[in-house]
């Protein structure tokens, strides 16, 4: 649909379109928070988001690194090209990655070296929902939800034309990235188009590393095989009527990147997605709104060993969702509001090649959910329930010589419940609490895997007899605000009766250690804190912002620490704003992580300094936002405690060294 390389002249031409005053007036849309669709106040207890210039400046080539160091969020960091978010110590299929609240239908949770086929260059906002409030998204969201939001299906009417163009470059990986967006409204129709292109070379690090990739230096201060080339785009449109809208979008994403665990293995990925979405808001009757969405995704990636084709992974997914929101009902002193919904998903997965450690499979899920909220005075109470039907079928492998997989179908009926409350206790204080019981059906690979997996450097085996993963979770939050001063504290705990983990054994197959998916008792507990203090306010403002988090995760069955858990982290920044100028200087401190299971690598303490400078320039018909960012100011040598490569491929993937990023975002 789109060429792999996007000519710069095309992007510039799109960016230079004139914007009518009516389009500018309607460009600001209401922010819709992921999570409880009934109460924005409660959502703020558990949701953090990145948008606007903050997302532009912090945006990285992967979703995990973009969100890393937000309170409660770390990253799997399989080098600079494949990284998924970790929320409150939980990763993989306990974290639901969504695209506009719909399934992303990729295979990023299957293996650490599989990237999420999304790019921040085409994203308007990323929201992270933590804790029990994620019930409506199912068992795979028991740790949290990451919702990547764009406007490829326009949800607000407009008249006129608006456009954006972004150009940026970075020194650490010699990155050049471009993106452009165009939206136009004509009567009842609004159309959207966007394109992006990102190209980077091997990432610079403070010390020299060895490399055996043909054409690369044998020894260089670069992460071997860490180059990346990605591009994509979309076209969509919506038809608006008096009581709602209906819209569609077609989008594509493709990339070719090095896996870094092996010097000569690369992945060529392509994802194509078609989505429909709509809403109806009747003026009469009991219903306030009916919202629906559906999508189909075709995903495929090929792992290349040099020039030879290796294993091919593919997934064809469908998903649909309908939500009915009824109008407030006030039987007494308070009022009830509610959302009832139905969701369906299915995916056909295949892995074909020498490293196909999981069988072909077909997974189907249907769910009913309901969320009701009762508000009285300054307090609100929320109750939610979700019931799923899940079928996981192993189809083996079409190659008759590959007979190591168990065939069969497992069916599950997970049930989840959640209770929450929120109370405005004092003028400056708000308190919240959440309690949930969540169940998750095992994934196809947890049940039926049986083969070599390079990303974990092991022979992985599933257990067809695994039962539901079950967790009881709680969190409590206190939030204070007085003028520009803010404080937020959250404590959380999740206890698992059957935590499905990949555990080591004493066996070997083909010189690889055997690791088996087994259910154990486990506990995750920790805290998140953040705040802001206004130090100075005259011609400009000077704020001190800070954040801290920690997670302690324990395998209660063996009394060992669980692997890949972030240590205590502290961060602080001085933020100065004056007129069109904005700047900050700050650091992120990571404590040593010595609580690791047997065979895992401990990591020492390190501190990463960072700074940025931004200037907003008004021009005729729009604005230019110039920015500069300096990462790892002191060129610190460090390894991530949450990356599996730190233990399985020591020395292959340190964190990036010093890098300067320069860019401009034009809006017209």
Distances (CA, A) of 612 to 503, 600, 632: 42, 35, 12
Predicted confidence band at 30 (pLDDT cuts at 50, 70, 90)? very low
Residue 149 predicted with pLDDT over 60: yes
**Predicted pLDDT of residue 539:** 85
Would you say residue 129 has pLDDT above 90?
Answer: no
**50-59, 135-144, 394-403: least confidently modelled range:** 135-144
Mean pLDDT of the chain: 90
Q: Alpha carbon of 103 to those of 115, 282, 293, 482: distances in Å?
A: 15, 27, 11, 39
* Strand 160-170 relative to strand 175-186, pairing: antiparallel
Q: Is 2 domain-assigned?
A: no
Position 38 scores a pLDDT of: 59
Residue 40 in any domain: the answer is yes
Please count the residues of the chain: 668
| pLDDT reading at 13 higher than 50 | no
Domain-located, residue 86: yes
The strand pair at 458-461 and 450-453 is best described as: antiparallel
User: Does 101 have pLDDT greater than 90?
Assistant: no
The total number of structural domains that make up the chain: 1
Residue 282 inside a domain? The answer is yes
Residue 42 has pLDDT above 50, yes or no: no
pLDDT class of 36 with cuts at 50, 70, 90: low
Does 571 reside within a domain? yes
Residue 302, classed as helix, strand or coil, is: strand
pLDDT value of residue 97: 92
Which residues are 398's β-sheet partners? none
pLDDT above 90: residue 415:
yes
CA 337 to CA 370: how far, in whole Å? 11
The helix or strand, by DSSP H or E, that contains position 24, with its residue range, turns out to be: helix 21-25
Residue 533: which CATH number? 2.40.170.20
Domain region containing 469: 8-667
CB 161 within 8 A of CB 182: yes
Asked if residue 3 is part of any domain, the answer here is no
Confidence of residue 578 (pLDDT cuts 50, 70, 90): very high
Q: What percent of the chain has pLDDT over 70?
A: 93
Asked if residue 1 belongs to a domain, the reply is: no
* Confidence check: pLDDT of 31 > 60: no
Higher pLDDT, 140 or 236: 236
Residue 553 lies in a domain: yes
């Amino acid at each position: 649909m789109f060429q792999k390389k996007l000519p710069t002249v095309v992007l510039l031409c799109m960016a230079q379109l004139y914007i009518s005053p009516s389009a500018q007036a309607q460009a600001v849309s209401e922010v819709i928070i992921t999570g409880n669709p009934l109460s924005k106040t409660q959502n703020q207890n558990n949701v953090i988001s990145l948008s606007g210039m903050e997302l532009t400046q912090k945006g990285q080539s992967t979703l995990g690194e973009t969100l890393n160091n937000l309170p409660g969020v770390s990253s799997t960091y399989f080098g600079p090209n494949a990284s998924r978010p970790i929320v409150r110590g939980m990763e993989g299929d306990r974290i639901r990655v969504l695209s506009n609240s719909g399934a992303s239908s990729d295979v990023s949770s299957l293996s650490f070296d599989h990237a999420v086929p999304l790019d921040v260059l085409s994203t308007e906002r990323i929201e992270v929902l933590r804790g029990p409030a994620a019930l409506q998204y199912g068992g795979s969201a028991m740790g949290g939800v990451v919702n990547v939001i764009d406007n490829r299906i326009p949800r607000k009417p407009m008249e006129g034309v608006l456009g954006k163009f972004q150009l940026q470059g970075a020194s650490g990986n010699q990155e050049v990235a471009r993106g452009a967006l165009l939206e136009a409204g004509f009567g009842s129709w609004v159309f959207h188009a966007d394109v992006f292109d990102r190209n980077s070379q091997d990432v610079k690090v403070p010390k020299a590393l060895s490399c055996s990739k043909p054409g690369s230096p044998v020894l260089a201060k670069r992460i071997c095989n860490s180059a990346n080339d990605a591009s994509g785009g979309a076209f969509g449109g919506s038809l608006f009527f008096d009581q709602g809208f209906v819209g569609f979008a077609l989008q594509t994403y493709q990339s070719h990147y090095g896996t870094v665990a092996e010097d000569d293995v690369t992945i060529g990925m392509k994802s194509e997605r078609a989505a429909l979405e709509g809403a109806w808001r009747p003026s009469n009757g009991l219903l306030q709104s009916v919202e629906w969405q559906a999508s189909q995704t075709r995903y495929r990636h090929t792992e290349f060993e040099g020039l030879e084709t290796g294993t091919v992974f593919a997934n064809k997914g469908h998903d649909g969702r309908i939500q009915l929101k009824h109008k407030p009902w006030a039987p007494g002193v308070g009022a009830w509001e509610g959302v009832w919904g139905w969701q369906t998903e299915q995916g056909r997965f295949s892995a074909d090649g020498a490293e196909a450690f999981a069988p072909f499979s077909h997974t189907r899920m249907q769910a009913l959910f309901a969320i009701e909220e009762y508000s009285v005075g300054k307090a609100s109470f929320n109750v939610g329930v979700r019931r799923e039907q899940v079928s996981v079928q192993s189809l083996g492998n079409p190659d008759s010589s590959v007979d190591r997989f168990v065939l069969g179908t497992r069916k599950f009926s997970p049930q989840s419940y959640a209770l929450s409350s929120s109370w405005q206790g004092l003028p400056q204080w708000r308190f919240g609490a959440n309690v949930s019981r969540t169940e998750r059906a095992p994934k196809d690979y947890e049940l039926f895997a049986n083969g070599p997996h390079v990303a974990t450097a092991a022979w992985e085996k599933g257990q067809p007899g695994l039962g539901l993963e079950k967790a009881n979770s709680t969190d409590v939050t206190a939030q204070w605000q007085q003028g520009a001063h803010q404080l937020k504290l959250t404590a959380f705990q999740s206890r698992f009766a059957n935590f499905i983990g990949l555990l080591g054994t004493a066996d070997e197959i083909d010189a690889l250690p055997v690791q088996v998916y087994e259910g154990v008792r486990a506990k995750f507990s920790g805290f998140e804190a953040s705040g802001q203090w206004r130090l100075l306010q005259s011609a400009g403002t000077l704020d001190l912002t800070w954040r801290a988090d920690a997670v302690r995760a324990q395998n209660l069955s063996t009394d060992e620490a669980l692997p890949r858990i972030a240590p205590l982290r502290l961060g602080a920044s001085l933020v100065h704003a004056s007129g069109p100028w904005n700047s900050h200087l700050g650091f992120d401190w990571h404590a040593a992580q010595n609580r690791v299971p047997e065979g895992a690598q401990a990591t020492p303490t390190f501190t990463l300094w960072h700074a940025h400078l931004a200037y907003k320039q008004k021009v005729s018909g729009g604005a230019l936002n110039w920015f500069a960012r300096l990462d790892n100011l002191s060129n610190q040598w460090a390894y991530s405690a949450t990356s599996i490569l730190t233990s399985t491929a020591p020395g292959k993937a340190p964190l990036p060294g010093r890098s300067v990023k320069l860019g401009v975002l034009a809006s017209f």
